[in-house]
Structure formats: C-alpha cells, structure tokens
Chain A
Amino acid sequence: MATSCEAIQELLAEVFGETERLSDEERRHLELCPQCCEVAAAEGALGLIFAKVLPPADPAMEDRVRAAMRTLRRRRRALALLPVAASLFVALLGAVMLGGLPGGSLLALLPVWSSQGWVSLAASVGDWNTVLTTSVGAATALFSPGVLVGAVLVSLLGLGVVAVTTRRWRQVSPWRHDG
C-alpha cells in the first residue's frame, strides 16, 4: 500500500489520476496532501488528453485481414498435399520397378540400363542432342507409354504443389508497400 508522496504520485500516473481506483488509505493521504492532490488533477487531465490519441478504427481492415487469412489457409492445404503427392509418386515408381504395373519387371533392366546409359551419356555429354535422344530412348524402352505419361503428370503435379506452397514465403498482403 503506497503512502509516501512519491509512491502515491507514481500510482496516480499509473491510474490516470483516477482517485477512485486508489485504496481508502491512499485517498486519505490525498485529502491531507495538497501537492499530491495537484498531481492527481494534472494526471487526470493528462489522461483525458491521452484518451484522444487513438486514431479512428478502420472497419475495412478486418475484411482485408480475413481475406489474407483465407489465402494463407488455402496455401496451407496445398502444402499438406505435398507429401501425399510425393508418396504417390514414389509408390507408383516402386510398383513399376517391381513389375506391379504393365511394362515388365524393370528392376532387372535397371542396372543394365543405368550402366550403359551413364557410359553413353558421359561419352556424349558435349552433345545435348545425343543426351536427349539416349534419355528418351532409355525411358521408352523401360516404361510403357501409359506409365510414362502418368509419371510425367505426377511429377508436374508435384512441381506445381511445390511452386504453390513456396509462395507462402512471399509478401502476403498485396496492399503493403514500402515507403
């Protein structure tokens, strides 16, 4: 309980000079101390000045924040799909390699293809046309057209999801500008 002049005045600054928020003992001190009484009046007036400093509310801010919240929510949903897309792609690739999907058992062909393919690619690395032709030839030899189209689509979907989700790191609110 504050009873000294300094403690009372510190308290008055804290309560904007509103003496009704003081304890009985603190109020009794005020009655007997003209200096503290003067401070109480001045703090009250100061409080009234500070009561006006808040700028008017901007009702549109709520709508803009809400719109940004929905955008963020959509991006988060997209982000949640990323592991699903990646899992699907890995599962599809595994199934193809194990011969679970049309195209034969690619597992057996893979070492042969990879050793020959990489030797060929290393030898012709300066010739991109050869690299491309070899890659496409190897892919078409190993995978059936349906599987290839499926793999390409899943990869594109995965890339799309990555592109969409990484946008969340960009500035969220388009109305903000740097002055």
Chain B
Amino acid sequence: MPWVAVRSKRSVDPPDSRTAGGRGCPGETLYHDDAVSFEKASDEQLVRLALDGDEDAFTALVRRYQRRLTAFLSQLVGDVELARELSQEAFIRAWSALERFNPKYRFSTWLFRIGHNLGIDHLRRRKLKTVALYRTDREGDEVELVVEDLTKDPLGHFENSELASSLREAIDELRPEYRELVMLRHFGCLSYQEIAEFKEMPLGTVKNKLFRAHTVLRKALATFL
C-alpha cells in the first residue's frame, strides 16, 4: 500500500466529525479491488502521490469526487450529462494544475472551485447563444417557436418523480445565497468547514444560512417528511 509511506508536511485538520459524511452523503462505490488502499488514504496523501506521477492515486480522487461534483454541477447548469462533461474537464484541469495546488487549502474546495468556474463559464457562453422564441410569420403575426428541451433532469434518477419535482421547485424557490449553500452541502456533500472555505465566509454564517434554508425546505417538502 504505497500511500502509507506518504508523510504530510503540514498538520492535517481533523475531519469535521459532525458535518463530514453522514446520511446525506453516502460513500462512493469502488469499481476495482485494487482501489481499496486508496479509499482509506486522505485527499492530501493522494495528491502527493499524484504529484509523484501516480495516476492511480489521482484516479482514486476522481472516483471519490465524481458523483458529488457532477451532482453539484448538474444543479448549476441544469443538465446532468453536461455536468458529467464539465466534471471530467474539471478533473483534467485539476490534474494539469496539480503542481500549482496550494496544500494550505483542501483539495475538495479547490476542485469544486475549478468545476464551479467551468460551470459559470458555460452558462455565460450559453447566454450569448440564446435565440428569440418568437418570430413573425408572413402575415405579420407573432409565432412561438417550439424549442426542443435538450436538458437532462439532474433529479431524473429519482424513483419518486413527484418528490423530485417538489424538491426541484423547493430548491429553485430558495434565495440564491441559500440555494448555492444547499447545492454545495447536499449535492456536493461538502462539510460546513469546506463550504466556509469555498465561499470565503465565516463558519457561523454558513451554519446560520443553511439552517434558514433547511427551515424553508422543511416547510416546502412537509408532505414528504
């Protein structure tokens, strides 16, 4: 198990015992038996191995974060297939820039920031490519154009479509500042500490805003709780 020999140059923060993992964030499924040793390694250990050229270590990070990053990005761009492509791009950019990664920060927040920037860039580009939905016909009347919806529902895998629809609506109706925190917490599965680092926001503010967001969500989804 090569990762055992890796030593950290800085002290590693203890995991947030309360906010890390938990019911909302199930563990990642492994695809290969040889990935078991990497599963137990910390992000920092895997990053160090990847910097030494170990592709398997970086692949373990991909395995660890791909569902979470895809879920987060699918909420951002509203299309799960596109979110997968953006996630891939984020992983490749992370690999490409790994030497510039500052170990003072967490790999998770760095990766999510790369993904977030890619998502925002995509949304900006998409905005420029919009077309008018109304066109004037030969008689001069306005005709509505039927545009095929190419987006793939980020919650399309839900068995209960009614619940998925209610959850989508509940999240959409949240204030933008709450919505982003909910996306990071429940779709990105980031701990409160990681969210505070990502948003460069005091931990207390994150806790308070997520509590308020939960209060709104509990009311909106009361029939399912």
How many residues of B are counted as interface, with CB atoms below 8 angstroms from the partner's CB atoms?
A: 62
- Asked if B23 and A49 make an inter-chain contact with CB atoms under 8 angstroms apart, the answer reads no
B92 close to A57 (CB less than 8 A): no
Query: A141 to B186, alpha carbons, bound, how many Å?
Result: 75
From A47, A72, A178, B24 is in contact (CB under 8 Å) with: A47
A10-B207, A14-B19 known; A50+B186 contact, CB < 8 A: yes
Checking B25, B84, B95 against A61 with a beta-carbon cut-off of 8 angstroms, the contacting residue is: B84
Which of chain B's residues has its CB closest to A171's CB? Answer: B89
B189, closest chain A residue (CB): A54
**Inside 8 A of B125's CB, which chain A residues have their CB?**
178
- In the complex the two chains form, what is the Cα distance from A50 to B214 in whole Å? 12
**B82 near A179: Cβ-Cβ < 8 Å:** yes
Q: Does A34 belong to the interface (CB within 8 Å)?
A: no
**Main SS of the interface on chain B?**
helix
Query: When A and B form their complex, what is the total count of cross-chain residue pairs whose Cβ atoms lie within 8 Å?
Result: 145
Partner of B92, one of A18, A43, A53, A65: A65
Contact B85 A176 (CB under 8 A): yes
Q: Which B residues lie within 8 Å of A21 (CB)?
A: 17-18, 22
- Label chain A's interface by main secondary structure: helix
| CB-defined contacts of B155 to chain A, threshold 8 Å | 53
B66 touches A72 (CB 8 A): no
Is B107 positioned at the interface, with any CB of A under 8 Å from its CB?
A: no
Judge if A51 is at the interface, Cβ distance under 8 Å. yes
Is the beta-carbon distance between B67 and A15 smaller than 8 angstroms?
no
Chain A positions 137-179 with a Cβ under 8 Å from a chain B Cβ: 172-173, 175-179
Assess whether B74 is interfacial by the CB under 8 Å rule: yes
**A127 CB–B CB distance under 8 Å:** no
A76 to B: closest C-beta gap in Å: 9
Partner of B158, one of A11, A45, A52, A65: A52
